[in-house]
Structure 1
Amino acid sequence: MRPGERAAFLDSACGGDSALRAAVERLLDDGGPSLELAPGESLAQYRIEKKLGQGGMGAVYLAHDTRLNRKAAVKVLTTEHAANEQYRRRLLREARAAAALNHPNIVTVYETASDRGVDFIAMEFVAGHRLDELIPKKGLAQKQLLKYAIQIADGLACLHQAGLLHRDLKPANIMIDAGGRARILDFGLAKDVPATGPSAETSTATVITQAGIVVGTTAYLSPEQAEGRDLDARSDVFSFGIVLYQMATGHLPFDADSRVALLAKILKEDPEPPRAIASISPELERLILRCLRKDPSRRYQTMADLRVALEDLELESTAGVPAPPPASSRFNARTAALAALALVALVAIGFLAAKVWPGAPQGAALRTIKFTINPANLVRGADGQIDTEISVSHNGKHIAYVENQGGQLWIRDIDQESARPVPGATQVYQAFWSPDDRFIGYSSGANCGTSAGCDLMRIPVEGGVAVSLLKLARPFRRANWSSDGQTIVFCDTAGMYTVPARGGPVTPIVEHSHIEHPSFLDLPGGKRAVLYQSVEPGQRVHGLCVRVLGEDKFRAILATNSNNPYPTYSRSEER
C-alpha cells in the first residue's frame, strides 16, 4: 500500500480516533527479516541444527552447544533491529538481566554474545508443547488451568521482582515440558519495570524503553501497550488475563478481522463473560475479568497478588473433596528382603492429647501409618542406631530425608520405593517443607550444628536452583516455615529469628537464655509459637510452651524432659 493510500485507509478505519491511529501506525512498523542460518553453520560454540520459528524480533534456531554438549535455543535479531544500535544495546542488556534469573517456571537464558558481527541470545531449549497447542476448542478443565496458571504467575512474579516486564506474554511463549511444568520463554521484548508507587513490585527499576514504541502480539496487548504508553507490571497482568481467558474458553476475549478493529476492541470494549462460553466457576470468571479491566489501577496490582488469588481459588475448588484412601502400607517379601534399612514413622498423638487437652475425645481410634524406605548411604552408628532427618510434607504425600554420609537431601513419594536426590543439596543438616509443599528449606554446611558459616537455603521441589537466604554467624539448631509461608523461623545458639522466605533482613524474636531445645512450631497467624524451653529459668524443668513472638511471655502447656519434642496442632488452633 502506498503512503497516500495508507493514510486514506487509516483516516477511514480509525474514525478520527487519534490515539487508535497512532497505535496502528506504530504497529505497522515491524522489523525486517533475520539473518538466515543454515543447518551446520555455527555461532560461537552453537552449531545450528534447524530453524524453530520466526517472530517480529528475530528468528529462533535449535542448536547444539559443542562446548557443554547440550541443546540450546538461539535467537538472532532481525537485520533492522540489529542495525539499530540503541535497540541492540537495550535488548542485550535486558537479556543479560533475564540470564540472572533462576526460577523453575522461567526458561534459562544462557548468554548474550556476538560472533562475526551477528548478535544472538542463547537460551535453554525446552522439549514439550506450546500452551496454545494444548488448549482445546472448549478450553482447559479448571483444575488443569489453575495448575498451569499458578506456575505462570509465579514465574512472572519472579520476573517482575527482578525489575523486568515480559510484554509479549501469550500461549505460544509458554512451554509445557515433558513433566507438565509451565515454562515462560521469549524475553526478546522484556524491559525494565518502572516504579508505580506503593503498589509497584519494584521501586528501584529504571525505565529504558521509550514511550511511543508498541511491541508485542496485537491480540495480547494491554490498552496502555497498544497506545505506546509507559508500562509497568500491570500491563503483563492484562496480557496474562487474555491468556487465562483463552485457557478457560478456548477463545480470545478480543477478536476482529483487522488490526485496527482489534485495537479498537482492546481499547474500548469489554469481553464477553467467560461463563457465557465455558463451564468455569464464578470466582475464576471474576478473577479473569479483573485482570482485563481497562484501567490499570483496577486490576491486580502485582503478579504476586494474582498468584495468591489463583492459589486461594485452587484451594477453595478442592475443599470438601474427600481425600484419596491411604496407600497400602504392605510391602511384599521381595521388597523387605531388598531393603537395607527400614525407618518406621509412627504417628502417635493420643497420649499427648489426653495430657494436654483434657477435653479431647477419649478412646478415639487412631490410625497408624507405617512406611519403609531403602535409602543408599544410610549407615548405622557404633550403637546400631541411624542418625538422620526425616520430614513429611504437610499433605502427607512426600518425605524428605538426609543421608548421614555426605548429607545429600532426597525426596520421595510416601507410597513409592524410589527416591530422587535434590541436585546441589549436600551437607544438609535439617530439611523442612513450605506450607504449600512447593519448596523445601534446609540448612547446608560442614558441621552446621557446631560451627558458624552454615547457609539457610530454599529450593523448589519440582526442580530449580537453590537460593541462599543467609549465612549464619553462629552454629545452627533448627528452622521451620511460618504457617503463612512468608517467613522462615530459625534458631541458632544465640536465639530465635525470622527471615523472609525470599530473603531479606533477619529479625530476632526470642532470647537464647529461654531456649533449651530448638524444636518449635509456628502457630497460624504468625504471632505465637510452641517452643521447647525451660519452664522455670535456672531450673532443669523443661516443657512445651506457647510463646507470643517478640515478647518475653510464655505459657507452659506440658512439662517433659524429652529430647525429641516435636509438637503439632489441629487446624482449629485450639489444640
Structure 2
Amino acid sequence: MTPERWQRITELFEAALEREPQDRLAFVAEVCKGDESLRAEVESLLSEDEGAGSFIQQPVLGASASPLNRVLQEVKVGPIPIRTLIGQALGHYQILEKLGEGGMGLVYKARDTHLQRFVAIKVLPSDRVADPERKRRFVQEARAASGLNHSNIITIYEIANQGGVDFIVMEYVQGKTLGQLIPRKGLRLGEALKYAVQIADALAASHAAGVVHRDLKPGNIMVTPTGLVKVLDFGLAKLTEKAKSEELEETQTLQAISETEEGVILGTVSYMSPEQAEGKRVDARSDIFSFGSILYEMLSGQKAFQGDSKLSILTAILREEPKPGTQVIKDLPHEAERIIARCLRKDPARRFQTMADLKVALEELKGESDPGIVVTTAKLQTRRRSSLIWITGLLLPLSAAVVLVWFLGSRTKEQELPLASVPLTTYPGNEFYPSFSPDGNQVAFSWNGAKQDNYDIYIKLIGPGEPLRLTTDSAEDYSPAWSPDGRFIAFLRYLSTGEAAVLLVPTLGGAERQLAEVSAPSNAFLRLAFVRDLSWSPDSKWLALPDKSSAGGPPSLFLLSVETGEKRRLTTPPPQSYGDMNPAFAPDGHALAFVRSLSLTIGDIYLLPLSQSLTPQGEPKRLTFDSRMNWSPAWTAEGREIVFASGQVRRQSLWRTMTSGSSKPQQLASVGEYSSLPAISRQGHRLAYVRWLIDHNIGRVEIAGRDGKSSPASNLISSTLSEMVPQYSPDGKKIAFSSDRSGNFEIWVCESSGL
C-alpha cells in the first residue's frame, strides 16, 4: 500500500473520529462511495479504535500507541518494515529472531513462556486482514487447517490478535525449505519421490477435510534433517480472495498482473494454476497443478513456467507447455513424465482428480525406482454390462503370458492355447483404432465421448482408471498411431474440405502440429471404423499413409517425413482398383504390409520389401487370395506373422498368416466374430482389437387416430443381430426388411404382425 493511500485513509479516519460514534459508519459509507476497499480500511481502523483496550495485555509499541499511530508505523519502505518485533512480546510469546519474510507476512522464532517451547509466529500484514469479511473467511479456513492432525502438516497452535497485530502461532520446525534443498540440476529421483509422496499425503488429508492450500510452493514446504516433510501456510492464500463475483475477481486478477513487481510475489505466481491466474474459483485440483510444478522443479532444478515478469509467467501458465521432462532431466522414467504432465493439464478435468490417486501413482513409481522392492499390481477385473441397442469398440487386451506363448510358440492348431479377453473400455458410444504405447502398458484410441457428439483421441492405462483426452477439436479425429520413441501420437482429422489433416500431439498432451493434408474417404463409416491409415517407421522419422496423386486416381501409399514434410511414393495400385491403404511397418522396417482393395468388399494383404532407406525393393507380394475384405494388418513382435481382420463389414473376425506365404491363413478361434482393427504391443505380449456388438430391431408405433392418441412404441421384428429399413407391402399385409441374421445382409419378408 502506498503512502498516498495511507494518507487518504488517515484523513478519513480522523474526520470520522470527529463525529458522534453512531454517525461514523454512515459518514464513511458516503465519502468512500465507489471505493469499497477504502471504506473497509477506514472501518477496520474505527473498529480497532473502539476495541483496542480489551485486546492489549502487554503493549507492543508502548501504552501511548493508538491504532492510527500503529498503522502509520507499519507503513513499509519497499519490503522492509519500519518497526520490528524482535525483543518484544505478543501475549505470552517472546519474539527472539526473524526467520523469514514472504508475501503473506513476517515469520519469527519465539518462545512460548507458558509451555517453555519454541514456536514460529507468522505476523500477517494489516492490509491483508483489513476487510472484515476477508478476515472472517481466513480465520475460518485457518481454524479448519489447525484441525488437521497429520505428521506432514505443520501444527497450528493459535490464531490471535494482540494490540492490533494479527498472527498465527505454529509448530517450530528445524530444517530448510524445499526451495533451499533443490540443487541447480534437480534432486535425484528417489529423493524427490520421497518428498513428493509425503507432500501428496499431506494434501490428500487436507483435501479430505475440505481444506485447499491455494499457495503451494517450495517455500511453503519444510524438510527436517531427518527428511520429514512439513507443509505450511494452509489457507493463507484465502486472504487474497474476496467474496465477490467471478467477474470482479477476474478484473482484480488482471489489474494485479499488470504490475511488474518482482521477488516473493513473482515466486508465488510461478506455481499458480491456470484457473487461479484467470481469477476463477479453485478446488483441490488447483493444488494438484501447483504440485506438478513443484515436482517438475524438484526433478529438473528449473521452474516449469518461467518469464521476466508476472505477466509473462502467467501467460506461460495459461498458454504454454513446459519443456518435456525427458529433454531436461537425464534418464527420467516415462511414468514420471506422464505423472507430471497429467498434473499440469490446463483443464482441471484432465488432471488427476484427487490427490489420493496422485499419491498412489507416486508410490508405485517410487516402488519401481527403489532397488530391491517388488511392486504388485491389482488383478484386472471385468465389468458386466447390460445389452444396449448399439455397443461398439470394446478394446480387449489379452492375458500377457498366454499371448506371449501363443505368438512365439508353434502354429499348429493343437498347440494353440485359448485366449482370455478382458474389456479395456466399456464406455457409451464407439471406440476405434487401438494403438499401443512403446512399453505396451497404454493404449491410444478414438472415441466419440460420453455424449457421443465428437470423435477425439484418448489414451488409457491398461487396467482400471479413466482415459485421458488429448484432442478437443470439433472435427473428427481418428486413426491414432503411437510413435516408437513414445513422444508423439500421430492422427488424422477430417476437414470440411473433404481432406484429412495429418497431425502430431505429444503423448503427454500439448500443442498439435500439422504435417500435411491428404485425401480421405468421404464415408464416415470408412474413416472411423474401417481403415487404419497411419504407421510409424521404427526410427520415428517417417509416417506411411495413403493419398491420391491425382483427383481421379486411386489412393497410393506414401512416406511423409515428420521433420520436413517431404512425401515419397511407395506404391502404385492398378488404375481401376479402389487403391492401397492400411499400411503397417514391420518391426525392423524392412517391409510394409498393406491392403490393396479392388472394391469396398474385396481386398487382400500385400507385403512390400523395403531397403534400409525405406526404398521399395521390387513389387509387392500378395499374402491372401480369397474374394472378401481383408484389412488392418498388424505385425507380431518377431515379424514372422501378420494378424488381420477378414470378412464382411461388421461380421469380420481376426486371422493370422505367415509373412513368408508358406501356409494358408488361420482364424483366431478364441477371439470370435465381430472383431476388427487388431493392434499388437511391441513386446508381443498383448493384443488389442475392436469388438462390435450390434442389435438393430424394428419397432412399431400406431399413428394417432381421430382421438389424437398414439400407442406406445412396441418391438415388432427382432433377432440377436440387425433388422433395418422396413417397408410395408402395398396391401399392408407383409413387411420386407434387411437383416444379417443369417450371416449376410439379405432381404427378408414377414407378416405385418412381425411373424
> Normalization by structure 1: what TM-score?
0.46
For normalisation by structure 2, the TM-score amounts to 0.36
